[in-house]
Structure 1
Amino acid sequence: MSALLKGLRLLNRADPFVEVTVSARGEHVLAAAGEVHLERCVKDLKERFSKVSLQVSPPLVSYKETIEGEVSSMLENLKASKNSDYVEKTTPNGRCVVRVHVMKLPSSLTKVLDDSSDVLGDAIGLKSGKNLDSQRSGILKNDNPTEVLKKRIMDALESEILSKNENDKDYVDKCKSKWLNLLRRIWALGPRQIGPNILFTPDIKAESSDSSILIHGDCHVSERLGFADDSSTSNTLADIPSNVNESLNKEAKRLESSVISGFQLATAAGPLCDEPMWGLAFVIEAYIYPYLGQYNESEPHQQSEQYGIFAGQIITTVKDACRAAVLQNRPRLVEAMYFCELNTPTEYLGAMYAVLARRRARILKEEMQESSPFFTVHAYVPVSETFGFAEELRRGTSGAASALLVLSHWEELSEDPFFVPKTEDEIEEFGDGSSVLPNTARKLINAVRRGKGLHVEEKIVQHGTKQRTLARKV
């Protein structure tokens, strides 16, 4: 490993265009200009700089995980979550019951949170990111970055509300007030405390009929972003019933960090293929119960020896409940998209479209350049489909077409990774299990899981009756 790190430093000196960074996962990332440049860099590492044998894996692509759902019904779903639409799990010692409800955030709000990670880290109190100055470059010196971020969040929500129902002013005002109340309840962001997923504090007014106490959380993120002040938070905490056991109340206060840790772990690795979650809102209700029977001072020590530390049990239970809630609400895969601009002569237009169709590209527009025989085509191409794209495009068009790829956005893959035809209409349209079309989302998930060493559900023997027996005949 030391030889590889030394070789990376030498490669960076020899080729200033190469960038070597360390990701949040601890991986050493080698950034190059393209596939040909990357191949040359790997060859130089092997033969000149590191002089060690390297095993190069297939290209790794990052994905994200979300759920399917209408954003317009998020507020209604939040109100209905008090009834039955939640996932409930209990810690091994039975002292904590965790209920999790998950909803989908508006895409505009998700984009603002995703693009403002460094400003969020600076506002919440984390270490400022290296790109903070670049994000502040478009902000006037007299403006507060937190206030600008708050305005961007409100503008994103307002545009989302107006796009649904622009004519009904009462409906727009009602939705704005509901969203303001929600933004005052932000407990944490995830993953890494600055991600595009939100953890809301539970409703304090929902009192439990038994002797349990709710871990209510603290809205410090809302305070840092300017959506709530200290007085509103203190008034909320004052609503906690005073007749609860004081020791149980102190224990619940200590365990707030465990709930946040479970939320961070769940959003950092989703249930589909351990990729980060994207654009989700969680409401976690964790109820702490007192010890059953007569309390004994040695009982906590005995339970920790049998089940593990109570804080660790809550972390694991919250993480499992969040992942189960995502699986229950029709999970979807989110993939990165390139904006692709292609220039090609008229006679090679058909061959270029054939290459784009094989790469799952979505054509945006095409136009002919004036006073020239060239067409300009704009399209969105998934990042996972761009490996070898330039070479195939040159081969298909005899080198006449050229492409420019720029990272554009994240896009949800609408295909259900767990789809299996069950009803008569579905079987008639898609066929039975043997003739159903390949599931793209499932194929991508299996590829990521296989690369990470996770369990993959696949048949080793596809057709048991079609195997041949190799007999040795003497």
Structure 2
Amino acid sequence: MCIDDKESIVKKGTVEDAYIWMGEKLEIIDDVPCGNIVALAGLRRGNTGATVTSCEEVDAHVIRGMNFTVTPILRIDIKCTQINVKNCLVRRIERLQLLDPMVISSLDDDVTGLFIGGVGELHLQICRKDLQDNVASLGQMTSSSPVVSFRESVHLWSARTASVRSLSIQLCMKARPMKAGLAKAIDDGRIGPHDDPEARSKILEEEFGWDKELAKQIWCFGPYNTGPNILVNMCKEVKHLDKIKDLVVSGFQQASKQGPLFGEKMWGICFELRDAVIDHKIDPKNFVYKREIVSNTKKVMYAAYLLANPILLEPMYLVGIRAPECHLEIIYQAIYEKMGHVLEEAKMPCTPFYNVKAYLPVRKSLGFFTNLRARTSDQIFHQQVFDHWRVLYSDPLDPETEAGKLVVETRMKKGMGKMEKVSDYEK
């Protein structure tokens, strides 16, 4: 039985078989001892991420989901020319996501939009090999080099209120950066859309300096309704606002999922709806009005974003390297060559080894450890995990800066064309 607390939906399913992982294979077993990862067949139609329990037990025993401390920050684009290969790929990617919850994907109708994302270079190599092995008999599949995910954020308040007007509606909005720690608290699940409004308002007021009444005016989080961006209603006595609320929220979700710089997710931004003028004849159920409102919401968000000193955030690894003392100089040199930063160095008691901890930009990490092992004759042991998003302190709107070059390069790869200006969105 699957119970989704968010929508109070109960679904029943029958477990057909239980499996346990043995290397790369799944073995059917009758019972599973504690400490193992279990695969249950037959519950595919259940709610992903919901509570699962047995309906035959008088005292229900909850099977709890695993908590992950990693984030998919690398992806590879996948292309194929034959439709039968694509169909096979889609099915295999769906199965891969069932087996590995850390795999993300985009299953668009357009073949060029197909990609998988993972937590690291080795993770993606394993996923890519799995896909290639399963479609090799049908046709050719090609994949790109790993691409790093960035985040689009802002540094200051919008210089002025952005405004977008059409025949039926006018929306006015400002963007501002969240206070330090709030976006991470949302990412970590401490604050979210399903919290009690009073409790959430109290946390926002006491820890992040929000006005308590303003905190109650949060319309939604995004993208995906849970992301680290917030839409707040600051309108006063606007008629017919309830009519368009759901459509404004929909536009917010789309805009926060694909920012205006180069289509990456937004991060750590609070959008304030300052004012709205709505035609009393507007029908939110009419497709034309729906499209108009959603489109205007995206435009006014993009304009507000560009008016708020845009910045790029890049993912950073926390790296741990264990090596003998004779290789420490090589390790330090390799880290600094890749714009990394050493945090600490500590000798392991009663051993000839040292532990080095450092921050390393993910975009500079591709091939880093392979090269480092070669330079140290394979005498190092390393681990890395996503730690935080770091600001790239250069103007992403200036094509001559480091951030600007990344934006131009990525837009070209995605076929996005020339970047729009604030005036293009507000016209």
Bin of the TM-score, shorter chain as denominator length: 0.5 to 0.7
Identity of aligned residues (%): 26
- Secondary structure of 1:416's counterpart equals coil
Structure 2 residue aligned with 1:352:
331
2:233 aligned to 188, 201, 204, which one? Answer: 201
Q: Distance in 2 between matches of 1:365 and 1:150?
A: 42
Query: Is 1:265 aligned to residue 254 of structure 2?
Result: yes
Deviation at 1:155, TM superposition (A): 4.9
SS of the aligned residue for 1:309 comes to: helix
Tell me by how many angstroms 1:279 deviates. 1.0
The alignment status of 1:67 with 2:46, answered yes or no, reads no
How much has 1:387 moved relative to structure 2?
1.5
Letter in 2 for 1:196: P
Give the structure with the larger helix fraction: 1
Contact 1:343 1:377 in 2 (8 A): yes
Distance in 2 between the 1:188 and 1:6 partners?
33
Deviations 1:25-76 (A, max 9, x none): 66563758853x754654464356542211111112222111013xxxxxxx
Q: Alpha-carbon deviation of 1:274? A: 0.9
CA distance in 2, matches of 1:25, 1:49: 16
Corresponding residue of 1:375? 354
- Give, in whole Å, the separation in 1 of the partners of 2:126 and 2:383: 21
Q: Are 1:342 and 1:403, in contact at CA under 8 Å, matched by a contact in 2?
A: yes
- Alignment partner, residue 405 of structure 1: 384
CA deviations over 1:311-341 (Å, ceiling 9, x no partner) = 4222212211111111111111112221101
1:3 aligns with 2:76: no
Shift of 1:257: 2.3
Counterpart-to-counterpart distance in 1, 2:228 and 2:94: 33
2:160 to 67, 85, 104: 85
Whole-Å separation in 1 of the counterparts to 2:362 and 2:177: 24
**Structure 2 residues without counterparts, runs of 5 or longer:** 1-85, 109-113, 420-427
Measure, in 2, the Cα distance between the counterparts of 1:259 and 1:355.
Answer: 48
Q: How many residues align?
A: 326
**Structure 1 SS opposite 2:265:** coil
Q: Which amino acid aligns with 1:389?
A: F
- CA distance in 2 between counterparts of 1:38 and 1:365 reads 29
Structure 2 partner of 1:451: 413
- State the 1:408 CA deviation: 1.7
Deviates more, 1:397-406 or 1:331-340: 397-406
Which ranges of structure 1 fall in alignment gaps of 5 or more residues? 70-76, 124-145, 161-174, 206-213, 215-248, 292-296, 421-437, 458-474
Bigger fraction of residues in strand? 2
User: Is this contact kept in 2: 1:108–1:157, CA < 8 A?
Assistant: no
How many Å apart are 1:391 and its aligned residue? 0.6
Q: Determine the structure 2 residue equivalent to 1:106.
A: 179
Correspondence list, 1:93-242, <5 A: 93=167, 95-116=168-189, 120=192, 123=194, 146=195, 154-155=202-203, 158-159=206-207, 175=209, 178-204=210-236, 214=238
Identify the residue that residue 16 of structure 2 maps to in structure 1.
none
Tell me whether 1:387 sits opposite 2:366 in the alignment: yes
Aligned to 1:172: none
Q: Paired residue for 1:46?
A: 132
Residue 288 (structure 1) aligns with: 277
In structure 2, C-alpha distance between the alignment counterparts of 1:363 and 1:190, rounded to whole Å:
34
> Corresponding residue for 2:61?
none
Distance 1:189 1:48, change over 3 A: closer
Cα deviations by residue, 1:174-200 (Å, 9 ceiling, x for unpaired):
x5xx53122111122221222211111
RMSD (Å), alpha carbons: 3.6
Q: 1:45 to 1:96 in 2, by over 3 A?
A: closer
Deviation readout 1:221-264 (Å, 9 max, x if unpaired): xxxxxxxxxxxxxxxxxxxxxxxxxxxx45x4322222222222
Shift of 1:402: 2.5
Alignment match, 2:25: none
Contact 1:96/1:286 (CA < 8 Å) preserved in 2?
A: no
Tell me how far 1:443 sits from its aligned partner.
3.4
Letter of the 2:213 partner, please give it: N
Task: Give the whole-Å Cα distance in 2 for the aligned partners of 1:191 and 1:85.
Answer: 24
Tell me the TM-score normalised to structure 1 length. 0.59
Q: SS at the partner of 2:224?
A: coil
Q: Which has the higher contact order (CA 8 A, sep 6+)?
A: 1
After superposition, the Cα gap between the structure-2 partners of 1:6 and 1:99, relative to the gap in structure 1 and judged at 3 Å, is closer
SS across alignment from 2:234:
coil
- 452 and 12 in structure 1: CA distance in 2 versus 1, 3 angstrom threshold: closer
Instruction: For 1:399 and 1:179, locate their aligned partners in 2 and report how far apart those are by CA, in whole Å.
Output: 56
State how far apart, in whole Å, the 1-side matches of 2:184 and 2:329 are.
35
2:332·2:342 contact (CA, 8 Å) conserved in 1?
no
2:319 aligned partner, one-letter code:
C
Quick check: 2:394–2:403 contact (8 Å CA) kept in 1? yes
Alpha carbons 2:93, 2:105 under 8 Å: kept:
no
SS of the residue corresponding to residue 211 of structure 2 reads helix
CA separation in 1, counterparts of 2:129 and 2:303? 44
2:201–2:216 contact (8 Å) kept in structure 1: no
| Residue 104 of structure 1: how far off its partner (Å) | 0.9
Question: Does 1:254 find its partner at 2:216?
Answer: no
SS in 2 for 1:365: strand
Rounded Cα–Cα distance in structure 2 between residues aligned with 1:33 and 1:88 = 41
Give, in whole Å, the separation in 2 of the partners of 1:32 and 1:97.
42
- Whole-angstrom CA distance in 1 between matches of 2:292 and 2:174: 19
Q: Deviations over 1:141-175 (max 9, x none)?
A: xxxxx35x975875576455xxxxxxxxxxxxxx5
Q: In structure 2, what is the Cα distance between the partners aligned to 1:339 and 1:407?
A: 6
